Amino acid sequence: MSAQLHAFLERREKVKEKANAPITQPQVFVGMGTCGIAAGAQDVLKALREEMDKHNLRATIKKVGCIGMCEQEVLVDVQFPGSPRVTYGNVTPKKVSRIVESHLKEHVPVQEWVVGEVATPDDPYPGNPFYTKQKRIVLRKCGFIDPESIDEYIAMDGYSGLVSVLTRMTPEEVIEEVKKSGLRGRGGAGFNTGLKWEFARKAPGDTKYMVCNADEGDPGAFMDRSVLEGDPHAVIEGMIIGAYAVGARSGYLYVRAEYPLAIKRLKKAIADAREMALLGENILGTGFSFDLKIKEGAGAFVCGEETALLASIMGQRGMPRPRPPFPAQKGLWDCPTVINNVETYANIPGILVLGGDWFASMGTEKSKGTKVFALTGKVANTGLAEVPMGITLREIIFDVGGGIQGGRQFKAVQIGGPSGGCLPESLLDTPIDYDQLNRTGAIMGSGGLVVLDDRTCMVDVAKFFLKFTQSESCGKCTPCREGTLRMLEMLENISQGKGTEDDLLKLERLAETVKDASLCGLGQTAPNPVLTTIRYFRHEYLAHIKDKTCPAGACKHLITFYIDAEACTGCTVCAKSCPVAAITGERKKPHVIDPALCIKCGACEESCKFGAVLRGKEGAV
Amino acid sequence: MSQPQTINLDAVREILSRHKDTKGALITVLQEIQEAYGYLPRPALSEVSAAMGVPLSKIFGVVTFYAQFHLKPRGKHVIRVCLGTACHVRGGERMLEKVGEILGIGPGETTDDQKFTLERVACLGACGLAPALMIGDQTYGRLTGKRVEELIKQYREN
Ligand SMILES: Cc1cc2nc3c(=O)[nH]c(=O)nc-3n(C[C@H](O)[C@H](O)[C@H](O)COP(=O)(O)O)c2cc1C
Ligand code: FES
């Protein structure tokens, strides 16, 4: 056994012992992913330190990644030796002093703010409906380890998959195991990962590359960010194993620039892995070498497409090119290149530790394992949920997600982002399965699930996505560049009440053409949101066209804001909030909106505490 | 705003000395220059062109392709309001209008005092806390009109 390997095994023994030993001093965990920080975790942490100093208390403060409950951020956990770990939700700097005084000082938890008691990484909060139907494999360590500590990763069997691969398996055996698992790419298209690796292994050439697609461009999705921020080593380990399997010596992590925290944590993780001989020359003394570089994206959605991403790594404009040749044959600098998504790589270590059969035992016939979803929009529990394949959309939205926010009515779920589609209530029993989702006109996508309620207009949603893809179209091929623009114009007209039924037919025809004729996945999938909304919500389009109304009250051109004189208390808040001084009225008397001046920005509606600002049909008042 | 007459290119040279022989480093070089200067000054691009042997036209092609690169100076604090899906359905546009109203500028513009630049972005990955925005490297979620006012005030003061 090499000295490096010996050192690693010894260290693993030690950190495991330490991790399993009972704690001797109280521990405080603060969720410090981007979402936690966005909710104010930084201030909470500061308040915690100050309060503890004030009371002369000592505890280990651990910064952990995201455990998935975005709705309850900031999350703070307190644990005493010999007691369970208690989680507080919606913590603010103000709440900290009571938590410190009561719980940390007097050992009495502040029950009213407690979310639950943490059990195990597999089922963090037994009985909590958000977790009951989840199956945490990729997210297992997120929220439990300090992502900046390689030791904590190793203590939870991190890099053990790599060790068994390097010491006991041939590259072919690794590929066999991954094939056996049935793992399909989590970046959207769902290509079989083991097969992709096999193609790259068999492709001629001495220089080969591994690339991780961490561009996560779908608006409304943050699965990859959470994995990178909460468990960066898992992705790195997956890439090293892949490199060994295909015979690559260098690799790139292409991370979007909007994720500064993920980049920071990856940099640290790479440096730590290098130091322990897990990355770089002669890994663990086995003679295998592989090194990794980070490339920051520069703000272009199309760079999530694999050939565009490769062009961007090479310092060029991120424009896609026709495939074949596929990157596995001809990628970076014309060398065979494997490109996989973050979540795909994060699944690899587990497959090598527990086996392909274990992985394949979860899911449906052709979709194995789990999928992480970013649950957002008008759902009660927003957050990150990892569910076994085969679970239905209904279960995700109503059981995990807790149904619709504010007790409103479910209308649709958008799955797969700008390349995906909107599905209605009647399709909620569709299981999470690549092929069954494709049949509905939507796609599995990378994991964005945006829930829409009765106040969301489907024409507006279609317009939103098309506006996005149209502006992100790289302009290389005509169907996508021109087609999406014309489609957008038609949608614009419809949402302004200027569309005709003929426009709707034209829109459908053009959508099919753009789908068939575009060069890359961007254009080929851009019409999906439009086509699915027309397919399942045609009546809403017709309401805009024939009746000139927006049933959801969202399309500005088709609504009027007015004030309900009964409900108005004359508090003047709306008048003050109006940017164009369209609201008049005396204090304590009902106010009125002048429709001629109103720009329909909705500021008054948002500011009114009495629900007195209402939306009516254009011209109704 | 008038641009300074001469720009000190030492930082550019230093960046080039580290990367110019690495293949595919053009975007990295441009990112680091922008990090150092806040934007991509024209003379810096000429320097890059000469040192890396890439025609200026090609550099402009790359610069104008990516939303992240800027040929004009930007404000000290860049505010990026998210208009991604989750933020869209939870009132992102309204937040953009609000920030614009407070600063008196539209998206893509910079305030006269060079303090703030307003931009839109499609998703910051904080969708669970929509609507969200980013100021510099810091992400803020669960915005309301009032919270936006407070945040801008806070940044204006330092
Ligand atoms: C317009 C467009 C955007 C894409 N964006 C992403 C992305 O952000 N992340 C990702 O992993 N894959 C993205 N993909 C899919 C990639 O092209 C590619 O299929 C994927 O990275 C392969 O990895 P996988 O097999 O592990 O899924 C995108 C594809 C298209 C057409
Ligand atoms: S949609 Fe705004 S942060 Fe994702």
Residues B61 and B82 grouped into a single domain: no
Looking at residue B2, its pLDDT comes to 47
Between the CA of residue B64 and those of A601, B28, B69, what are the distances in Å? 32, 15, 7
Q: How far apart are CA A295 and CA B28, in angstroms?
A: 7
pLDDT tens string A39-95: 999 999 999 999 999 999 999 999 998 888 888 999 999 999 988 999 999 999 999
Spell out the per-residue pLDDT of chain B, length 158, in tens.
445 558 899 999 999 999 988 989 999 999 999 999 989 999 999 999 999 999 999 999 999 999 889 999 999 999 999 998 888 888 888 899 889 999 999 998 999 999 999 999 988 888 888 899 999 989 999 998 889 999 999 999 87
CA distance B95 to A514: 33
Confidence band, pLDDT 50/70/90 cuts, at residue A245: very high
Mean pLDDT of A100-119: 93
pLDDT of residue A8: 96
CB B75: neighbour CB atoms within 10 A? 19
Least CA distance to B131: which residue of chain A? A377
Q: Is the pLDDT of residue A620 over 70?
A: no
Q: Tell me: do B89 and B146 sit in the same domain.
A: yes
Residue of the CA atom closest to atom 6 of ligand 1: A304
Domain identity same for B22 and B86 = no
CA-to-CA distance for A182 and A424, rounded, in angstroms? 30
**Whole-angstrom distance, CA of residue A241 vs CA of residue A230:** 20
Instruction: Tell me how close the Cα of A9 comes to any Cα of chain B, in angstroms.
Output: 36
A529-586 pLDDT, tens digit per residue, is: 999 999 999 999 999 999 999 999 889 889 999 999 999 999 999 998 887 889 999 9
pTM: 0.92
A450 touches chain B (CB under 8 A): yes
Does residue B1 lie within any of the structural domains?
A: no
| Ligand 2 centroid – CA B83 distance (Å) | 7
> Average pLDDT of chain A?
94
Q: What is the pLDDT of residue B1?
A: 45
Contacts of B19 (CB under 8 A, 6+ apart): B25, B28, B29, B32
Do both B85 and B151 map to the same domain? yes
Helical H runs in A443-577? 458-472, 478-495, 501-517, 521-525, 528-542, 573-577
Q: What's residue A167's pLDDT?
A: 96
CB contact under 8 A, B139 and A601: no
Same domain for B119 and B150, yes or no, is yes
In this structure, what CATH number is given to the domain that contains residue B98? 3.40.30.10
Examine the pLDDT at A313 and tell me if it is beyond 90: yes
User: B41 and B111 share a domain?
Assistant: no
Structural domains of chain A sorted by starting position, each given as residue range(s) with its CATH number in brackets: 20-118 (3.40.30.10), 150-360 (3.40.50.11540), 370-453 (3.10.20.600), 458-547 (1.20.1440.230), 559-616 (3.30.70.20)
- Range scoring the smallest mean pLDDT among A180-184, A425-429, A519-523, B143-147: B143-147
Check whether the bond before A74 is cis (ω within 30° of 0).
Answer: yes
Helix (H) or strand (E) holding B27: helix B26-37
B125 is a domain residue: yes
What pLDDT digit, counting tens, does each position of A437-490 carry? Answer: 999 999 999 899 999 999 899 999 999 999 999 999 999 999 999 999 999 999
Which of B80, B81, B123, B143 has most ligand 2 atoms within 8 Å of its beta carbon, as the pocket-test mutant?
Answer: B123
pLDDT at A599: 84
What is the model's pLDDT at position A523? 96
Cβ(B64) – ligand 2 distance below 6 Å: no
B39 in the same domain as B89: no
| CA of A303 relative to ligand 1 center, distance in Å | 9
Q: Which structural domain, as residue segments, surrounds residue B47?
A: 10-65
Ligand 1 touching residue A184 (CB < 6 A): no
Task: Kindly state whether residues B59 and B81 are assigned to the same domain.
Answer: no
How many domains does chain B contain in total?
2
Residue A278: DSSP 8-state: S
Claim to verify: residue B90 and residue B138 sit in the same structural domain: yes
Question: Are residues B99 and B61 located together in one domain of the fold?
Answer: no
Helix, strand or coil, per DSSP, at residue B80: strand
Residue with tokens 């068939």, as numbered in its chain: A516
